[in-house]
Amino acid sequence: MPPQPTNLNLLLFPISTTSPYFLSSSFSLFFQPKIQSFQLPYIFPITSFFTALSSCSRKTHLQNRNYCSNSRGIDQFKKQKSGLAMEFEEGSFESAAFVYNKKRADGLEKKDLSKKKSFQLKVRKLNPVNTICYVQILGTGMDTHDTSPSVLLFFDKQRFIFNAGEGLQRFCTEHKIKLSKIDHIFLSRVCSETAGGLPGLLLTLASMSEEGMSLNVWGPSDIKLLVDSMRTFIPHAAMVHTRSFGPASDSTALVTPAKDVFNNPVVLIDDEVVKLSAIVLRPNQAAEESSTTKPGLQEVDKHLSEQLSSPSSDHRAELFMKPGDLSVIYICELPEIKGKFDPKKAAALGLRPGPKYRELQLGNSVKSDLQNIMVHPSEVLGPPIPGPVVLLVDCPTLSHFKDVLSVQPLSAYYLDASGNSNSRTVNCIIHLSPSHVTNTIQYQKWMSRFPEAQHIMAGHEMRNVEVPIIKSSARITAQLNYLCPHFFPAPGNWYPQHLKHISSDLRASREGPFSELCESIPAENLLKFHLRPIAQLGVDRSGIPDSASRSEIIDELVSRTPEITEASKHISQLWLQNGKPRKERIYEQDNELPIEEPWLHNNELPDSLEGVTREDLEIVLLGTGSSQPSKYRNVSSILLNFFSKGSMLFDCGEGTLGQLKRRFGIEGADEVIRGLRCIWISHIHGDHHTGLARILALRRDLLKEIPHEPLIVVGPWQLKRFLDAYQRLEDLDMMFIDCKHTSESSLAAIDSNEVDIAPQSAMNCEDIKDADKIRTEEQKVNSTLFAKGSRMQSYFKGTSSPIENSMVYPLIKKLIKVLREAGLEALISFPVIHCPQAYGVVLKAADRTNAAGKTIPGWKIAYSGDTRPCPELVKASTGATLLIHEATFEDGLIEEAIARNHSTTKEAVEVGASAGAYRVILTHFSQRYPKIPVFDETHLHNTCIAFDMMSVNLADLHLLPRILPYIKILFRDEMVVDESDDMSVTTAVA
């Protein structure tokens, strides 16, 4: 039995049978008045809590937690309070009490953890004569074009990463690349495309050991802006040592003065292992604008050539340049290798074999043993071998190309007319530039100035789409698609139109002038270019993973599980029977089900689904894992696709854009992004919002030339601090609404014009400053989930000032307008128990009238966010057509669920039952469950387990529980805990 808490810091939740929170005997809540000697906690009874404890498969010994964790603890609490008049129903302790970690909910646990960490820069003993050195493509984003590929520069004792786009962690987990060895991260641009994976990476490194991991992050602008924007959700931001080398507001942060940064290379690292320099590129707005007006490739090249030959620059463009507009060419130079030692020459100079040989090889002169002379290294060593040189070039637009041609430091590496270079020969160039830049004649001519270099094209090219980056996830997607294509449709890159793009792209690269000017190879996952030992200098394809086709995956599946073919046919019958008369349909289902479950025969549809069509709504589970991405599950994100009426996102974890592109294809995902109407974020933990900036940045680019409104983002107030800081790097084109202003009471007040609205034109700067001051004070007082003096009183239920109301009112009206245009009635946020300012959300469709004139109630979808089961969630979910509920842990890990304020599978199911939800989808599973979570099917009555890319059309919702028995067949040998995949390192933020 785990040790009992020494301080039961308990509070009881007051409730009566007339309260809206009074549910049933299985959810009976009780009240005990506060007394002087105890500070009482929140306790919510929930059905069969003790049953879950008794079935624990393992115990997690948690100490110093501010929660009651087992029946003995509750019994002890009863004895301590035996003198009190306790009012609760008979048997309520037998059905047991639900508790939660109040310290975590109040945000105090994180502060305690941060005091234990002491981040120091890693000091590694360098090996000047490296036996192994190479650059390697970490193919992040290559199959989805959502982020810049990462590049690893590997040494025996050091690791450098260039760019940390979204999905870097997931890719490295898939291929067992240890990111804990990384000392430096270099960004070619400071923006979401190159740095979207940095927050998740930092969260992981911060939790890897007692001391944590610390690293340097370099960028061509004030990188501190990026790190500061993360301080709202990264508790250990001190671990990041920022190194900027471009123009910034804080000149003290620069490695080199701003006036010199565009004229000379900036030496970042120069030691016995490597010299690493950076050349900063600026965009030329005139070249960009003019080139986009020319439709043909040759015309673009002609005009671009004219622009590049012009000595003038557009100073006005520089005035409006954001830090994210700067780009970099990195130069990596390895030291020369000393010539081979010649013992015959040493003997001729009077040296005996021994330590003096070693000194000469190290470059030191020694005295001859037999002659009265000094022997110098040059007399006994052969000619030195120049060290290899690697360039990493990121020229994101044609407007940056003027600087590529004009920077003088690069001319030292060009070959002259006689075929000689002025400096050292470049052995390898990794081009991060996109294909629309690299395919221009001007760029190809520039590449031809390095004829001895191996050119590796790592930019976004269609040829990469057909090769999945996350092979494990792609394999499961193919298997689920074979089993049930209705809920697991084929990924977008399987569609014929994408194959057509790939073939045309390959044909253009073969037939165009590119092949005539300069040879190159396309980048592939884990492609290497060896630099040391010198005998292996060149490309190495041995590490490139094999790519299995869908047919090969299915053949292997059928061979391993022959009955899966029959299961697939049974599922297809469900959809074929869907349009038949009900009696006939039930009869056929009775004879087709592989497992008899009485609850599967309940065919009663809720009124809200009457007349629903396939064009009303599709729910796409883009990410269903927790904490950090894994090779099987990405982190939280849910797309609500209203088809012609647009779409919404509930949460937006890292890699959301990549998941969208895998689901809908490159062009299809762009259409979804263009049609986004709103993004709602549940809380500030990184696994729920770090993909937001990338989505917003792409939407900004896609709608650049189209009149549009900024996208509405609804989230906790801490999220606005992150977005405001990030907008200093690149424009995100969004408007923010605090979740507290989307509560039921707030929206009702606006609808009834109860809010005191000041005219927008009457507000001046002082008003805004006063509003900010009020806001700051409110945040200091209301820093926890519950405001002082009121049990379960959410922060957003507090009264707002007239100034704040007048600022929020126009935004709420825009939100209401957006909802109405999508056929929705309301989006309502409500508080849940997880961390400070954690929310769930309800989305309700507008009522409609059928052909007979009958009013059909709109459907209702509730999403829990991350939470312990709580009355607010049950109340908000009452009568929901669909409840999407987190189920992070299996039933046996109830203590861990309490410690981290998450729910178990059984608890999530019981919340749905208590709320009377028609269907429940369980998601947000711990990454310790590699493919399918551990669950007890006896209490999954109207429920289904979520998988990445699962797409549920509202018209098919009634069929959802029927596929679970078949999924169990698919994963029958894998419903066990894989301890090797236990992602416990990021529990501080999960």
d(CA 321, CA 337): 43
Q: Number of C-alpha atoms within 13 angstroms, CB side, residue 817?
A: 9
Contact 32, 92 (CB under 8 A): no
Asked if 669 and 704 touch (Cβ cutoff 8 Å), the reply is no
Beta pairing class for 848-849 and 538-540 = unpaired
Q: What is the H or E stretch that residue 584 is in?
A: helix 582-592
Question: In which residue are the tokens 């009183």 written?
Answer: 793
Please tell me the predicted confidence (pLDDT) of residue 418.
56
**CA atoms of 44 and 92, how far apart (whole Å):** 10
Model pTM score = 0.81
Condensed to tens digits (0 to 9), the pLDDT of residues 558-574 reads: 999 999 999 999 999 98
pLDDT attached to residue 547:
81
What pLDDT sits at residue 930? 75
pLDDT tens digits for range 365-394? 999 998 999 999 889 888 888 899 999 999
Collect all residues with Cβ–Cβ distance below 8 Å to 5 and sequence separation of at least 6.
65, 66, 67, 68, 69, 73
Q: How many residues does the chain have?
A: 990
Residues 6+ away with beta carbon under 8 Å from 382? 339, 340, 341, 342
Helix axis angle for 550-560 and 564-576, nearest 10°, is 110
Is residue 817 within 8 Å of 825, Cβ to Cβ?
Answer: no
How many whole angstroms separate alpha carbon 945 and alpha carbon 526? 33
CB 397 within 8 A of CB 460: no
Contact 691, 166 (CB under 8 A): yes
pLDDT at residue 230, as a whole number: 82
Report the C-alpha gap between 279 and 250 in whole angstroms: 20
Q: Are 458 and 151 in contact (CB under 8 A)?
A: yes
Q: How far apart are the C-alpha atoms of 51 and 49, rounded to whole Å?
A: 5
| Residue 396 and residue 299 in contact, taking contact as beta carbons nearer than 8 Å | no
3-state secondary structure (DSSP) of residue 781: helix
Q: Convert 186-224 into a string of H (helix), E (strand) and C (coil).
A: ECCCCCHHHHCCHHHHHHHHHCCCCCCCCEEEEECCCHH
> How many H-runs (helices) and E-runs (strands) does the chain carry?
34, 34
CA distance 99 to 869: 9
The CA-based angle 855-860-863, given to 5 degrees, is 175
Between helix 692-702 and helix 717-726 the angle, nearest 10°, is 50
Residues of the chain with pLDDT under 70: 1-98, 110-130, 207-213, 235-238, 247-261, 263, 285-321, 416-423, 494-517, 579-603, 750-805, 939, 974-990
Structural tokens at position 352:
């005996």
The pLDDT score that the predictor gives to residue 839 is 97
Integer Cα distance of 812 and 817 in angstroms: 9
User: Which two three-digit tokens encode residue 702?
Assistant: 């896609």
Q: How far apart, in whole angstroms, are the C-alpha atoms of residue 821 and residue 613?
A: 18
Q: List Cβ neighbours of 87 (8 Å cut-off, separation of 6 or more).
A: 30, 31, 32
How far apart, in whole angstroms, are the C-alpha atoms of residue 395 and residue 242? Answer: 23
DSSP state of 499: H
Q: How crowded is residue 946: how many other Cβ atoms within 10 Å of its Cβ?
A: 23
At 839, list the tokens: 């929310």
Greatest CA separation for the chain? 116
Query: At how many degrees (to 10) do helices 564-576 and 582-592 cross?
Result: 170
Q: Round to whole Å and give the CA distance between 204 and 2.
A: 28
**What pLDDT score was predicted for residue 655?**
95
* Inter-residue contact 911 to 892 (CB < 8 Å): no
The two beta strands, 839-845 and 711-715, are: unpaired
Other C-beta atoms lying within 10 Å of the C-beta of residue 341: 15
Sign of the torsion formed by the C-alpha atoms of 543, 464, 458 and 655: negative
Which tokens belong to 234? Answer: 């990264």
DSSP string, 212-261: ---EEEEESS-HHHHHHHTTTT-TTGGGEEEEE-S--S-GGGBSS-TTTT
Cis peptide before 396 (omega within 30 of 0): no
Backbone angles phi, psi at 734, to 5 degrees: -145, 160
Nearest to 250 by CA among 233, 228, 231: 228
Find the radius of gyration of the CA atoms of the chain. Answer: 31
User: What 8-state DSSP symbol labels residue 889?
Assistant: B
- Is the omega angle on the peptide bond into residue 41 within 30 degrees of 0, that is, cis? no
The pLDDT score that the predictor gives to residue 120 is 58
- The rounded distance, in Å, linking the Cα atoms of 603 and 916 is 16
For residue 111, the model assigns a pLDDT of 54
Distance CA 258, CA 245 (A): 8
The answer to whether the CB of 840 falls within 8 A of the CB of 872 is yes
What pLDDT is attached to residue 881?
Answer: 97
